[in-house]
Structure 1
Amino acid sequence: MDINKINDAWIAAGQKVADLDNKLAIQTISDDFEPNDEFKALKEQRDNAKIQRDTLKEQLDEARANEVYRMKDEDKKPLNDKQLDLKDKFVRDFKDMVTTGKTDAGNAGLTIPDDIQTTIHTLVRQYASLQNLVNVERVTTPTGSRVYEKFSEIKPLANLDDETAKIGDNDDPELTTIKYLIHRYAGITTVTNTLLKDTAENILSWLSTWIARKVVVTRNQEILKVLDTASKKPTIANFDDIKDLQLNTLDPAIIATSSFVTNQSGFAVLAKVKDAQGRYMIQRDVTNPEQYRIGGKPVMVVADRWLPDVSGAHPLYYGDFKQAVTLFDRENMSLLSTNIGGGAFESDETKIRVIDRFDVEQVDGDAYAVASFKAVENQQATTPETSGATTTK
């Protein structure tokens, strides 16, 4: 069998084990946890998946060993300087950091280079990332400020009826200063010695996937914290309340570029709401069947685990989130390892810490609203009497 196919199968099997582990963890941490038949079946599925993963790893190692054994001596040449690119150097530095604790930066850890950060950011966009909704500004300093003039605060020019009238000064614009302070967000994972024996590509793949997931969860959490400080928080009870949210809550200039965000449970409720003619309020985009719309505005659906209900109420965000929120991204991720602290010494393991540096700030609180709902009533059906139409006999 082709070694690349074995490698792909091994990676897929490892991902399957990780997904099943997450499902087991969600059930196990529940206060009313009981190992019922469903849980036992899921655990058995996870155990079988681990056997498959480990077997594929053994096959992969054997295939690689056989491939090296069959190589001719004249084909075994050392890599030249051009082949030792930045990624290979990063992997070597990563191994050195894990095994010896030493880096070129001393105790500061290992900075993730730009090309690998690009890979991580690409992976971030593959997950349910709210970062894609807000404005992202890349910064190079840990602190700074930005000055904004809100659209709603711009005042018109004065009307001069008399051609000889003196033109007065414009009123000074009302400016808002937004200050950012880059924060450090860190997480720790455990690696085994077998990881360090793997190929450079597999090490990079593992690192990129792990970091990307951490980054998505962390940044989503901070974006939601800022969004939840909205000054406008209407409660939705029926079809027309959603129309009011869409058409009568924000400035018309904001409405043109606005969209909806809700969680999966909320979307399940909204998807069943009908208008007076019995048509579903949520419609598929005719140009993209995977995209849903309310009144022509896109609807983004986020899993409940990332965007949970609050006191039993589903969230419904509406507005132009790029106008409302800015994420200041320092783009300076770093890694640091230890085989002593955090229980690593006792278990003969190595702990890897990743640090992400960014800040999230509200720029225009009038550019969006945060509604909530539990149940949404359909729009009342119209009849000639209620609609004002006349009937002929």
Structure 2
Amino acid sequence: MKKSDLIRANIENLKEEAKELVNKTDATLEDLNAIDNKIAVEEKKLEIQLKNEAKERAAASEGATNLPEATAGVTEENKIDNKERNRVLALAICGKASQSDLAKISNLLQEGEDSKGGLLVPPDIKTKIIELQRKQFDIRKYVKIEPTKVQKGSRPKQKNEPQASGFASVDEGAEIQALHEPEIEPVEYAIRKYSGYIPITNELLDDSPENILAFVIDWMSKNELNTYAYQIFNGSGLKAAEGILNSIKTGGKLETRVVKLETAPTLKDFKRILNLNLEEVESDNIKIFTNGSGYSYIDELEDGFGRPLLQPDVTKESGYAFLGKEAVKVPTKFLKQVVLDDVEYTPYIIGDLELLYTMYDRDDLLIETTTVGGTAWRTGTTEVKGTFRFDGKINGDIKSVVVMLAKHEATSAIQNYSRANSAKNVSIALQSVVNDNKEAMEKLTEAIVTALGSTKETSNDV
């Protein structure tokens, strides 16, 4: 028996212990975290051991090629580099790889469903996919990612919170009072398979293997990211990931975290949410997610001096900040307008998604091809199917986010905001001039011009 088999057996035993522990009424968070950590350690050991065993097999195979005439036909040509491997991979995708070619990538061959073969995407191809994805919207940057190698699992979650008073003041030698007992519940996840296919035409099949592979990589990178983003925002939770927008509906996990406005949001609305609704969330981790409509709105907001409130900020992943918080523009095809009672609202998801949402990732991409299945045999094409697996759960602290739904009224709210602040800034600037400040005098002049312009606009409106 290989060492990896022993580690697998140990993992199964630990999982059985974890199941028994979950069913115990006196199980503590520390106990559950301890067994969970043990499983994680053993899974990491298994991952490393499997790599070591693969290296040992490769070394044994390489050693065989160095034997004298007894191993005739096995030469240095049998070694395969990434370039040759990728060429063979492209040929395999097209169904043009010979048996000798397939032997070169035997470590990538996987048994698919219904006895259909598949190709596991190698690490360097994954790297190319990741490089392409950096240029696109990637929701994974903002949620918690938990790698997993199992199809189903659970994680302990504390339902209640520590009392605000914390520990009680106790005299020396006096009896110490009991703290409230933490309530633990298991949060289960089940990895789902996500697949899609495209037909590859004969014209593309006649292209070079490098171009074929580039085409498939581009297709995989875009569709993988689209799937993650769409599911995390719109997933039904039934045989799919849990979606944030679906969870704000009646009975949803985030129903109580919705703030609905029948007007366009003001600066005070944003500040009220940041200061009151999210007061326990680390300020630096709060982000504002909105779609094209919402982003355009905050992009037009200005202070009393005509300066935009949405400012470039190189310290933020998106490159922009609003009220000091990272502003993230989510494509509208993922973060759609919300319709309630035939009224359309623009969503603003404000908070720390990493505390709210966990994505359980199998981290395996599989490519399968056919020339006889589906409609491929009728159209004379090759169908390429991409498959990957993950699950997404709203299993964190729901108090870490607020979903603000606002009804936009064109730009009238923006104009009203600017007018109100113009008059206010005239007063502020006058106060500064008392101190004989040259810079304040310049600001006063600018504020007066702005205020007069706003007054003129108001009179024209009348």
Q: Indicate the residue corresponding to 1:153 in structure 2.
A: 161
Superposition CA RMSD, Å = 3.4
Separation (CA, whole Å) in 2 of partners of 1:177 and 1:136: 18
Q: Indicate the residue corresponding to 2:403 in structure 1.
A: 370
1:80 paired residue among 71, 77, 80: 77
2:298 paired residue among 253, 263, 270: 270
Letter in 2 for 1:164: G
2:277 and 2:402 in contact (8 A); partners too: yes
Separation (CA, whole Å) in 2 of partners of 1:290 and 1:326: 21
Q: Cα 1:79–1:220, aligned 2, differ >3 Å: closer, same or farther?
A: farther
Q: Indicate the residue corresponding to 2:30 in structure 1.
A: none
Q: Secondary structure at the match of 1:336?
A: strand
2:326 paired residue among 298, 321, 324: 298
2:362 and 2:390 in contact (8 A); partners too: yes
Q: Secondary structure at the match of 1:360?
A: strand
2:359 and 2:391 in contact (8 A); partners too: yes
2:195 and 2:385 in contact (8 A); partners too: yes
Letter in 2 for 1:200: P
Letter in 2 for 1:282: L
Q: Indicate the residue corresponding to 1:358 in structure 2.
A: 390
- Tell me the TM-score normalised to structure 2 length: 0.60
Deviation, 1:306, is 3.2
Separation (CA, whole Å) in 2 of partners of 1:357 and 1:315: 28
Separation (CA, whole Å) in 1 of partners of 2:275 and 2:208: 55
Q: Does 1:331 align with 2:363?
A: yes
1:349 paired residue among 378, 381, 393: 381
Q: Does 1:283 align with 2:318?
A: no
Q: Does 1:134 align with 2:143?
A: yes
Task: Name whichever of 255-264 and 106-115 sits farther off.
Answer: 106-115
Q: Secondary structure at the match of 2:319?
A: strand
Q: Does 1:235 align with 2:260?
A: yes
1:235 and 1:373 in contact (8 A); partners too: yes
Q: Secondary structure at the match of 2:133?
A: helix
1:111 and 1:332 in contact (8 A); partners too: yes
Q: Cα 1:361–1:240, aligned 2, differ >3 Å: closer, same or farther?
A: same
Q: Secondary structure at the match of 1:256?
A: helix
Q: Secondary structure at the match of 1:184?
A: strand
Deviation, 1:145, is 1.2
1:234 and 1:370 in contact (8 A); partners too: yes
Separation (CA, whole Å) in 2 of partners of 1:183 and 1:288: 32
Task: Name whichever of 311-320 and 286-295 sits farther off.
Answer: 286-295
* Structure 1 runs not aligned, ≥5 long: 1-77
Deviation, 1:141, is 0.5
Q: Cα 1:273–1:392, aligned 2, differ >3 Å: closer, same or farther?
A: closer
Q: Looking at CA atoms only, which structure, 1 or 2, has the larger radius of gyration?
A: 2
Q: Cα 1:111–1:209, aligned 2, differ >3 Å: closer, same or farther?
A: same
Deviation, 1:209, is 0.6
RCO (CA 8 Å, sep 6+): is it higher in 1 or 2?
1
Separation (CA, whole Å) in 2 of partners of 1:239 and 1:132: 27
Q: Secondary structure at the match of 1:357?
A: strand
Deviation, 1:390, is 9.3
Letter in 1 for 2:122: P
Separation (CA, whole Å) in 1 of partners of 2:433 and 2:151: 74
Separation (CA, whole Å) in 2 of partners of 1:159 and 1:98: 73
Task: Name whichever of 183-192 and 276-285 sits farther off.
Answer: 276-285
- Tell me the TM-score normalised to structure 1 length: 0.69
4+ runs deviating over 6 angstroms: 97-100, 286-290, 384-387, 389-393
Deviation, 1:369, is 1.4
* Structure 2 runs not aligned, ≥5 long: 1-74, 103-108, 235-242, 248-253, 435-462
Deviation, 1:391, is 12
Letter in 2 for 1:134: V
Deviation, 1:283, is 2.1
Map Cα deviations across residues 48-71 of structure 1 (whole Å, 9 max, x no partner): xxxxxxxxxxxxxxxxxxxxxxxx
Q: Cα 1:368–1:176, aligned 2, differ >3 Å: closer, same or farther?
A: farther
Q: Secondary structure at the match of 2:220?
A: helix
Map Cα deviations across residues 1-24 of structure 1 (whole Å, 9 max, x no partner): xxxxxxxxxxxxxxxxxxxxxxxx
Q: Secondary structure at the match of 1:333?
A: strand
Separation (CA, whole Å) in 1 of partners of 2:110 and 2:174: 71
Which one has a larger percent helix, Structure 1 or Structure 2? 2
Q: Secondary structure at the match of 2:92?
A: helix
Q: Secondary structure at the match of 2:281?
A: helix
Separation (CA, whole Å) in 2 of partners of 1:197 and 1:294: 51
Q: Does 1:316 align with 2:325?
A: no
Q: Indicate the residue corresponding to 1:260 in structure 2.
A: 288
Q: Cα 1:97–1:361, aligned 2, differ >3 Å: closer, same or farther?
A: farther
Separation (CA, whole Å) in 1 of partners of 2:96 and 2:290: 42
1:292 and 1:298 in contact (8 A); partners too: yes
What are the equivalent positions in structure 2 for 1:1-393 lying under 5 Å apart? Answer: 80-85=77-82, 86-96=85-95, 105=111, 106-149=115-158, 153-155=161-163, 157-225=166-234, 226-228=243-245, 229=247, 230-231=254-255, 232-236=257-261, 237=264, 238-275=266-303, 278-285=306-313, 291-311=319-339, 312-362=344-394, 363-375=396-408, 377-378=413-414, 379=417, 380-381=420-421, 382-383=423-424
Q: Secondary structure at the match of 1:267?
A: helix
